[in-house]
Amino acid sequence: MSAGLALSGCSEMNTVMTDLQNSSTSAVASQSVPQVNKVSPKPTEKLDLVGLVGWFEDSCGFDNKSYTEGTQENLIGKRFDAFKETFMEERYTPESGYKAYVKPDYRKNLPAAINNVIQNISVVQDNQGVHYYVDFINATYRGYDLSRLELFYQPESDYIYDVLYFKNDNFVELKPIFKTTMDDLDNLRGGEFNVNSRSVMCYLGL
């Protein structure tokens, strides 16, 4: 999974994200990517985000299908990279160096369905690195309620990870469908479940 695949222009972003306009309960039950549906849900309805963050279960995007053009796994990865491009940005000043920020107009570049389930996006820059937080309302992953997505990177290093946070302890029932694989350096890649924090972490660095 690329840490920052840039997709230029709103039209390209819309092309890879339009099929997230609604989630299919039958697709969730069968553990497949939701089918195309361009009807936006009402703000009170839940939206399943497996079509956006499903690469977490595909060995954190390190399985061969994720790198194969035209596969569902590859499409999900492109969708997620396009999603990040809508709000992640940084600027440089000689006084303070690189400073991360949230693009103020990010909501204009997201499908209505995604906007409906995002409560807020914020960024914290500390001595560890940069933490982007996407806080959800009415968002699920294969039917399990999500609370937050964290995107972390340490500037000028390969220390990068993404974390999905769930609202309830039962998220551990998802563990059997999360795959692992060995990368080119013989490192085991896959989502790390943390019961205490109700989270699944994908380490994306080298």
Secondary structure of residue 179 in the 3-state scheme: strand
- Write down the pLDDT at residue 136: 97
CA distances from 185 to 41, 169, 188, 205 (A): 43, 33, 9, 12
Residue 3 maps to a domain:
no
Residue 95 maps to a domain:
yes
Residue 1 maps to a domain:
no
Per-residue pLDDT band for 18 (boundaries 50, 70, 90) equals low
Q: Which domain holds residue 187?
A: 10-203
Residue 196 maps to a domain:
yes
Per-residue pLDDT band for 116 (boundaries 50, 70, 90) equals very high
Residue 32 maps to a domain:
yes
Residue 5 maps to a domain:
no
Question: Does residue 92 surpass a pLDDT of 80?
Answer: yes
- Write down the pLDDT at residue 76: 95
Domain count, the chain: 1
Model confidence pLDDT, tens digit, residues 186-205: 889 999 999 999 999 999 98
Q: Facing residues of 139 across strands? A: 47
Model confidence pLDDT, tens digit, residues 127-176: 999 999 999 999 999 999 999 999 999 988 999 999 999 999 999 999 99
Higher pLDDT, 148 or 44: 148
Report the chain's mean pLDDT, rounded to a whole number: 83
Residue 20 maps to a domain:
yes
User: Rounded distance, CA 170 to CA 191, Å?
Assistant: 16
User: Rounded distance, CA 132 to CA 87, Å?
Assistant: 9
- Write down the pLDDT at residue 94: 85
Percent of the chain with pLDDT strictly greater than 70 = 79
DSSP secondary structure of 78-137: HHHHHHHHTTEEEEEETTTEEEEEE-TTGGGGS-HHHHHHEEEEEEEE-SS-EEEEEEES
How many C-beta neighbours within 10 Å does residue 201 have? Answer: 19
Residue 2 maps to a domain:
no
Question: Does residue 79 surpass a pLDDT of 90?
Answer: yes
